[in-house]
Amino acid sequence: MSGSALDRASIGDLVLGNPPLLERYLSLEEQLQPNGFDLTLREVSSLASAGYMGRGREQRELSAAARLDFDQGGWLDLPLGPYLITFNEVVNLPLDLMALGRPRSSLLRCGVSVHTAVWDAGYRGSSQALLVVHNPLGYRIQRGARLVQLVFLRLAQGVSEGYQGRFMAENL
């Protein structure tokens, strides 16, 4: 069906297809959900500089990021503030699919939000998002934790040219 969200069986078929919809996932059984696929945590970085956004491509600078180290058990204690997170999974979107990421409700119930952008049709890469700890007591997080559910939407008509931006093949 065109113009609709994919269900568990459809996502599972695409993950096992060639090319796979997702690679480098930790557990297909745990991450495949009724209405999406959970992305897991690979890295956390703090923001180390200001960035800026102008009107043109050449008028954009990303904030520098300083990677944080997990402890021996793979845990990281995060104080109040924003963090750049990188996911384990590699997303390979065909020209007739796009995706939206939503935070898992357990995060929200602890005062933590995750902000994502649109995964455009044709995108390939290991994406990043902004995790914000709003809880003044902080938050403890473990490498490999499932943080965001990616929801896949079939386009009514595939695009003729997929994503071509600067984040194509990021973090591979």
The model's pTM is 0.95
pLDDT in tens, 86-109: 999 999 999 999 999 999 999 999
pLDDT in tens, 48-64: 999 999 999 889 999 99
Structure tokens at 160: 């003729």
In this model, does residue 127 exceed pLDDT 70? yes
Could you give the CA distance from residue 1 to residue 117 in angstroms, rounded to a whole number? 25
For residues 146 and 104, the answer to whether their CB atoms sit within 8 Å is yes
CATH 3.40.50.720 holds for 8-48+65-154: no
In angstroms, the first-to-last Cα distance of the chain is 32
Structure tokens at 52: 């800026």
